[in-house]
Amino acid sequence: MPSIAVLDIAGKEVGSIELPDSIFSITPNNSVMHDVVVNHLANMRQGTQSALTRSEVSGGGRKPWRQKGTGHARQGSIRAPQWRHGGVVFAPKPRDYSYSVNKKVRRLAMKSAFSSKMLSSDIIVLDSLQMEEYKTKTVANALSAIGVEKKALIVLPELDDKIIKSARNLKGIKTSQVNTLNVYDILNANKLVILKDAVAKIEEVYA
């Protein structure tokens, strides 16, 4: 099992922890991670684009001129697509872009994401992050002390309102519980900050 140092909020090493091989030491499968990230982004799409077809545009119920004898091309409605203010041909309509991915594929992608962060030494295990009050500065100072400079994902063992609300004002910082983790957020973060209590839950869920 790979061993990693455990840091406190002051950035000092207070011990070490062994991470399970089955999650943090597999050979990352880039193809599977790509498939799951594409699936995640597709599921996030709202699909709210919409335009009116000729049957939905108001007006145009009367033939603009008679069929023959005017010298004009024959027309049936002023709301046909070739007219100004006419309807749209094959108009886009709201649709659902989401689709499902096999559970085994999602699990492999999650393990690959953890392992890729381990290979690049971008995992930080934090002893604890106790919050007495809602204070962004406390989280900012802790992240600065442990070497987080850019985007980071803080993995919590359970819902902690004080940490979540204190961290959400920090640019590039996201929080997630173990049961709501996704591959996109892990790969998108420069650093993966895992609270020590969350490591056991990750092993329980994904091992």
Specify the CATH number of the domain 3-45+97-206.
Answer: 3.40.1370.10
Number of H helices, E strands in the chain: 7, 6
At residue 187, the pLDDT reads: 93
Find all residues with CB under 8 Å of 202, minimum gap 6, and list them: 23, 114, 155, 178, 181, 194
Residue ranges per domain, the chain? Answer: 3-45+97-206, 48-96
| CA separation for the pair 195, 127 (Å, rounded) | 6
pLDDT exceeds 80 at position 2: no
Write the pLDDT tens digit of every residue in 53-82.
999 999 999 999 999 999 999 999 999 999
pTM confidence score: 0.80
Quick one: pLDDT band at residue 3, thresholds 50, 70, 90?
A: confident
For 121, the enclosing helix (H) or strand (E) is: none
pLDDT tens-digit readout, 127-158: 888 887 888 888 888 888 888 888 999 999 88
The yes-or-no verdict on residue 207 having pLDDT over 80 is no
For position 147, what pLDDT does the model report? 85
Is the predicted pLDDT of residue 11 greater than 90, yes or no? Answer: no
At 189 the pLDDT is 92
Dist. CA 28–CA 39, nearest whole Å: 18
| pLDDT over 80 (residue 182) | yes
Higher pLDDT, 106 or 129: 106
pLDDT band at 41 (very low <50, low <70, confident <90, very high): very high
Q: Which residues pair with 13 in a beta bridge?
A: 7
| DSSP per-residue codes, 20-76 | PHHHHSS---HHHHHHHHHHHHHHH---------TTTSS---S-SS-SSSSSSPP-S
- Residue 194, φ and ψ in degrees, nearest 5: -110, 125
